[in-house]
Amino acid sequence: MTFLTQMAAARCGTITPQVRQVLIDEKIHENDLLTRIAEGRIVIPANRNHTSLLAKGIGAGLTTKINVNLGVSEDCCNVEAELQKVRRSIELKADAIMDLSTFGDTRAFRKRAVEISPAMIGTVPVYDAVARYGKDVAAITVDDFFDVVRMHAEDGVDFMTIHAGLTQTAIQRLRITPRLTHIVSRGGSLLLDWMTANDKENPFYEHFDRLLELCRQYDVTLSLGDGLRPGSLRDATDAAQIQELIFLGELTKRCWQAEVQVMIEGPGHVPLNEVAANMLLEKKLCHGAPFYVLGPIVTDVAPGYDHITSAIGGALAAAHGADFLCYVTPAEHLRLPDQDDMKEGIIAARIAAHAADIAKGIPGAIDWDNAMSAARRDLDWDRMFGLALDPEKAKAYRASSKPVDQEVCTMCGDLCAVKRSRTILQPETDAAS
């Protein structure tokens, strides 16, 4: 039986079950959704082997989605703890989960995550190639790399980060571009090591058609990684980053020719005044493909608070065209995040995404805020908690400081402006209530 990718189906005018799910979740006309999938401006990462998936769309005219990174490492190899993070991420309404495991039985963990997750699952196969084969990076073969890609596809992974734009030309550009932090992408640094040791081209660039065939077979969405993303403000928007982005734009067209869905990964550490320009460059150079950004982090001096630095950058980035935000936790740059860190990162990313949706004019986005404002006007605390992005925290704060007048809070008490002005401006409504 011949299977169609989501892009191929859209080009035929076929409404897949995944498209139907997106139409339920989003305020977009069916024809507009199909057109944008067909053009590559929207992707629905949905591996045909991920049977527990509740499909989501990423791209033009849709709500901004958020991703959570997790996975086991050599220093923190607690599989059950990471699976609990998967469950908690879903409870906290993450749209996607990236398994970045680098140690132990990575396949068993990945398959379990796919089995229990209705959220889309992403991976970085080059990490797993190192973990699985236990070889020196230089000794990994091209077939080794592609065998791992096939394994991830078979296991039901919906999107894969592949740093195919990190070519020898891009590395040469890096060598002549003075950088403060060189390469901060793990996948990018591993491929740099392999390419330098073997004096060969990036295997994923050289054999890109082979990669596309695997993606088409399972309908895996390619997330073309930014191996040369800036890891410090000083390195943002430099020649090496843009050189790689140019290659990613060329590869995007090859994906679309093969009817493979693709999105582009972006920076990184970016000053506020350069965020909008980075979004414009990606959309121009990569032909409107969905853009997936890490943060961006807008200052380098806040370790312990990088969920805030990234939320600031993420809101601005999404308001200017980014479609998918990778969360950042307070533990960024410091250690593997725990569940508390993860929650802080998810909430911060969701705030950024929603703020951007309002700015972008996504249909219905501001309705949630209007409902909250009405509940505040009415001093209806139960309704406020029900509408809160994090009801648990809102209730805990309220319970920790009880007012004498239960209608108000301990910030203003009898001087509550909302209650006082409502009494004057809505006397009939108050009397009726």
Pairwise CA distance, residues 321 & 103, whole Å: 35
Cα–Cα dist 219/5, whole Å: 5
Q: Are 145 and 126 in contact (CB under 8 A)?
A: yes
> Is residue 52 marked as binding?
no
Which residue shows structure tokens 């599989």? 79
* Tokens 């660039």 belong to residue: 205
Q: How do strand 42-43 and strand 58-59 relate by DSSP bridges? A: antiparallel
User: Distance (Å, rounded) from C-alpha 333 to C-alpha 345?
Assistant: 13
- Tell whether residue 185 is among the known ligand binding residues: yes
25 is in an annotated binding site: no
Task: Find out whether 226 is annotated in a ligand binding site.
Answer: yes
Determine if residue 227 is labeled as part of a ligand binding site: yes
Angle 394-396-402 from CA coordinates, rounded to 5°: 100
Q: Is residue 142 within 8 Å of residue 205, measured between CB atoms? A: no
**Is residue 163 marked as binding?**
yes
Q: Is 228 annotated as a binding residue?
A: yes
Give the separation between CA 260 and CA 222, rounded to whole angstroms: 8
- Residue 187 labeled ligand binder: yes
In 3D space, the residue among 250, 266, 251, 244 whose CA is nearest the CA of residue 171 turns out to be 244
The verdict on whether residue 412 carries a ligand-binding annotation is yes
Q: What is the largest CA-CA distance in the chain?
A: 81
Rounded CA gap, 366 and 369, in Å? 5
Binding site: which residues? 69, 98, 127, 163, 185-187, 226-229, 265, 269, 292, 333, 409, 412, 416
Binding residues for [4Fe-4S] cluster are 409, 412, 416
Binding residues for Zn(2+): 269, 333
Residues belonging to the binding site for substrate are 69, 98, 127, 163, 185-187, 226-229, 265, 292
